[in-house]
Structure 1
Amino acid sequence: MCGLRQLCVLLSGLLPAAVLAAVSPSQLAIVINTNDPDSRETGRYYRQQRHIPEQNIIEIALPVTAVVSEQVFNQQRQALYRQTPANVQFYALAWTQPYRVGCMSITSAITFGFDKAYCAKGCNATRRSAYYNFDGDAPYDSLGIRPSMLLAGSSPAQVEAMIDRGVKSDGSFPGGTAYLLSTTDKARNVRAWRYPVIRQRLSSRLKIQLLEADALKDKHDVLFYFTGRARVQAVQSNRFLPGAIADHLTSWGGVLFGKKQMSVLKWLDAGATGSYGTVIEPCAFTQKFPNPGIVIDRYTRGESLIEAYWKSVAWPGQGLFVGEPLASPFATRRQSE
């Protein structure tokens, strides 16, 4: 794990907020699963709300199941890349299932291609992402990858509500709070050692509260909420601002349905705009989860949700990114967008 000195280095080069959002609608493609009627509707709605160019709407055919095989996935990813315009840097995946490909999450498999180097048998490291804390704004041009995010929800209506929150967040420069919770769950509280440095480095930019608690309750200004628990209580008692990011470090948060641990969809149901969870047992490697300091830093200086969130995870192969990719609360968009 990174030491305190390394974390300080990562947060030392802080810049003022950007004026314009880095990612434009023309740089993002919407991927529709033709086997899923809800995917078509989600894709249509997202294109309308975000003014995505028609040529950036791409169709593939995946089974509507939690897990897809490596063979089927590889065929469809090849079809996806053949159809993708050269200027596209990111993908929005317009479905809730599948969310896993073999031993990888669907978002990482789309981004990197299926590669077992991004998987782990037991408690082991996985391949590091070249996009981790990367300063460029064109990952395909620079690194040959297109980071992806799932437009997922517990229902089509919830997905549309999440999209609306992302759109509403743009240029809002919210006066919300980052809540960093240190819990009694020692196995899942492994990010808490970072919190004092994060507050020290970023508190001039927004309010940051460090709390020793297993749950946050009745707060009305939640912009960031990071914790470590298998299940998080009282999530619905809080008000999440448009563009809010929230996640809980646990083993199965990215298993969207059917696990005893809390699904990341619960955060979105409660009003968050983005979340993250693993689909395969990761063990308590902090590198397999978002680094809250990097997320907060990059998001609050104008990067979009997909940029700031993806850049915060060093080993993302087993992790699922869910949310509205273009949400940019600390940036404004050109009128043409």
Structure 2
Amino acid sequence: MTVLLSGAALAADSRIRAENVAVVVNVANKNSVEICQYYLKARRIPQNNLKEVNIQGSPARLSHEQFLLLRGKIYSKINQDIQVVVLMWTAPYAVECNSITSALTLGVDHKQCQQLCAAGKPSVYFDSPVGLPTDSGLRLSMLLPTDSLETAKALIDRGVLSGFRVNEGDAYFLTTTDKARSSRSMFFPPSIEIPQNKLHIHNVQADHIENKANVMFYQTGMASVPKLETIDFLPGALADHLTSSGGDLRGSSQMSILKWIEAGATASYGTVSEPCNHWQKFPNSSVLLKHYLTGATAVEAYWKSVAWPAQGLFVGEPLAAPYCHSCSLDAWKEPGK
């Protein structure tokens, strides 16, 4: 925890701004088109950063060949200043056994698909101190789901609001009775106060929490999380349940991470195929917390927290950054100033 506290004291704000974000819209999906324009306006992202693709039928998974065509359209003539790519749709969310976000950022890992439970390919970005993703040779990606116009707009609004002030908040890290899914709890921070971030960390043994307000972090190990409707999340909140199928957004075997977004979280993470019990395929809670509290955006903090991300889907509003001081100042500026 000493590392976390020292990192929180020595803030290193994100250098990613609206002009560094490319937005990909599926012109065959009316919700994608509407939410895309809402997002460009809300984040004041230049219209030139918009990339149009046509994905008929919005399948859950793409073949490698389909993905290569899509990737080519996204990256053709892309501005060299782009650090983050936002996919404005709910599906497709997978490329074979890979998540679409990892495939877009890292390329498709065919070896992982041959053995789902094998070790993944290490990410050079894991717990990285670099200031910009392209310094590591990467462009990060995140999926912003659009099945519900109301939910998508509320998600975007929360991301924008997160940049204006730091509210006093609580972080809950739950070790549950599900021992297999609680194996990642070894990376949970201890219960502690971090005054400079106005954050109260609670490391507790429980299957869920309920009737809690001002929640900024919620991580637990359960296949399904009850009582989410009683949780009041702060703008910019990160939440996930560290289990196998959360990223299978149209699956039914376990709770989808879309439930976190619907409940008021601003970003989440889940795997699209069976990862088995490798902690490296899930967010490392202490790493996630450290980078978010030192001013990283949601997309940076989540990507830096996963050591083997091939199967993991990153979902949410990528620019949310409640602890980035320069980001909040930037939010008040006129576009182009």
Superposition TM-score, scaled by structure 2 size: 0.92
Q: Shift of the alpha carbon at 1:219?
A: 0.3
2:289 corresponds to 1:296: yes
The answer to whether the Cα contact below 8 Å between 2:8 and 2:293 also exists between their aligned partners in 1 is: no
1:157 Cα deviation from its structure 2 partner: 1.4
* 1:333–1:101 distance in 2 versus 1, CA, 3 Å: farther
CA distance in 1, matches of 2:16, 2:200: 26
The answer to whether the 8 A contact 1:77-1:113 is kept is: no
Is 1:244 paired with 2:213? Answer: no
Equivalents in 2 of 1:108, 1:299: separation in Å? 20
Question: 8 Å contact 1:119–1:317 — kept in the other structure?
Answer: no
User: Which residue pairs with 2:300 in the alignment?
Assistant: 307
Aligned with 1:83: secondary structure? coil
1:267 corresponds in structure 2 to 260
Give the aligned partner of residue 71 of structure 2.
77
- Percent identity (aligned): 42
Q: Pick from 180, 189, 194: which aligns with 1:187? A: 180
Pair 1:131-2:125 in alignment: yes
* 2:274 maps to which of 258, 278, 281: 281
Counterpart CA distance in 1 for 2:334 and 2:114 is 44
- Over 3 Å counting, the alpha-carbon distance change for 1:13 and 1:129 in structure 2 is farther
Indicate if the aligned counterparts of 2:190 and 2:202 stay in contact, CA closer than 8 A: no
Are positions 1:58 and 2:51 aligned together?
yes
Relative to structure 2, which stretch is displaced further, 82-91 or 15-24? 15-24
Provide, for residues 153-195 of structure 1, a one-character-per-residue CA deviation record: whole Å limited to 9, x for no partner: 5512101110000101103212111100010001100111222
Deviating beyond 3 angstroms after TM superposition, the runs of 4 or more aligned structure 1 residues are 8-13, 17-21, 117-120, 197-205
* Kept after mapping to 2: 8 A contact 1:94/1:150: yes
Query: How far has the Cα of 1:115 moved from its partner?
Result: 2.7
**Aligned in 2, Cα 1:275/1:129: closer, same or farther, shift over 3 Å?**
same
Q: Map residues 101-180 of structure 1 onto 2, 5 A cutoff.
A: 101-117=95-111, 119=113, 121-140=115-134, 142-180=135-173
Shift of 1:87: 0.7
Determine if the alignment matches structure 1 residue 329 to structure 2 residue 309. no
CA distance in 2, matches of 1:267, 1:36: 23
Helix, strand or coil: the match of 1:191? helix
Q: Distance in 1 between matches of 2:306 and 2:290?
A: 14
Any conservation in 1 of the 2:193–2:200 contact (CA below 8 Å)? no
Contact 1:153–1:269, Cα closer than 8 Å, also in 2: no
Contact 2:223 2:241 in 1 (8 A): yes
**How many residues matched?**
328
Unaligned runs of 5+ in 2: none
Change (3 A) 1:19 1:67: closer
Shift of 1:74: 0.4
Moved more, 104-113 or 116-125: 116-125
Quick check: 1:165–1:242 contact (8 Å CA) kept in 2? yes
* Secondary structure at 2:75 match in 1: helix
2:162–2:320 CA contact under 8 A, matched in 1: yes
Deviation at 1:260, TM superposition (A): 2.6
Aligned pair partner of 2:35 in 26, 32, 42: 42
Q: Work out whether residues 64 and 95 of structure 2, in 8 Å CA contact, stay in contact via their aligned partners in 1.
A: yes
Q: Distance in 2 between matches of 1:88 and 1:78?
A: 15
Paired residue for 1:3? none
TM-score by length of 1: 0.92
Counterpart in the other structure of 1:88: 82
Secondary structure of 1:266 counterpart: helix
Aligned partners of 1:277, 1:287: CA distance in 2, in Å? Answer: 13
* Native 8 Å contact 2:31 2:147 kept in 1: no
Q: Which residue of structure 2 lines up, in the alignment, with residue 253 of structure 1?
A: 246
